[in-house]
Amino acid sequence: MVGYAFMGLAHSQGWRNARSFFEPALVPDLVAIGGRDARAAADMGRRFGWGHVETDWRALVARPDVDLVDICTPGDTHAEIAIAALEAGKHVLCEKPLANTVAEARAMAEAARRAAAHGVRSMVGFTYRRVPAIALARQLVQQGRIGQVRHVRAQYLQDWLVDPEAPLTWRLEKERAGSGALGDIGAHVIDLAHFVTGESITGVSAVTETFVRERPLPGAARGLSAEAGGGRGRVTVDDAAVFVARLSGGGLGTFEATRFATGRKNAIRLEVNGSAGSLAFDFEDMNVLHVHDASVDARESGFTRVVVTEPTHPYVEHWWPAGHGLGYEHAFTHQAAELLDAIARGVDPEPSFADGLAVQEVLAAVETSAASGSCWTPTGPSSDG
CATH number of the domain where residue 218 is located? 3.30.360.10
pLDDT category of residue 220 using cuts at 50, 70 and 90: low
Domain end residue (candidates: 298, 326, 354): 326
**13 shares its domain with 65:** yes
**12 shares its domain with 158:** no
Residue 41 lies in a domain: yes
Nearest to 59 by CA among 78, 32, 37: 32
Nearest to 28 by CA among 385, 266, 337: 337
Averaged pLDDT for residues 301-319: 97
**294 shares its domain with 146:** yes
Averaged pLDDT for residues 26-32: 96
State yes or no: pLDDT of 383 exceeds 70.
no
**210 shares its domain with 266:** yes
Domain end residue (candidates: 273, 299, 326): 326
Nearest to 237 by CA among 96, 95, 370: 370
pLDDT category of residue 376 using cuts at 50, 70 and 90: confident
Minimum mean pLDDT among 149-163, 210-224, 249-263: which range? 210-224
**144 shares its domain with 184:** yes
Model confidence pLDDT, tens digit, residues 70-121: 999 999 999 999 999 999 999 999 999 999 999 999 999 999 999 999 999 9
**105 shares its domain with 228:** no
**49 shares its domain with 148:** no
Domain that holds residue 105: 6-128
Model confidence pLDDT, tens digit, residues 181-215: 999 999 999 999 999 999 999 999 999 999 999 99
Averaged pLDDT for residues 53-73: 97
**97 shares its domain with 226:** no
**124 shares its domain with 18:** yes
**224 shares its domain with 307:** yes
**10 shares its domain with 100:** yes
State yes or no: pLDDT of 309 exceeds 80.
yes
pTM of the prediction? 0.95
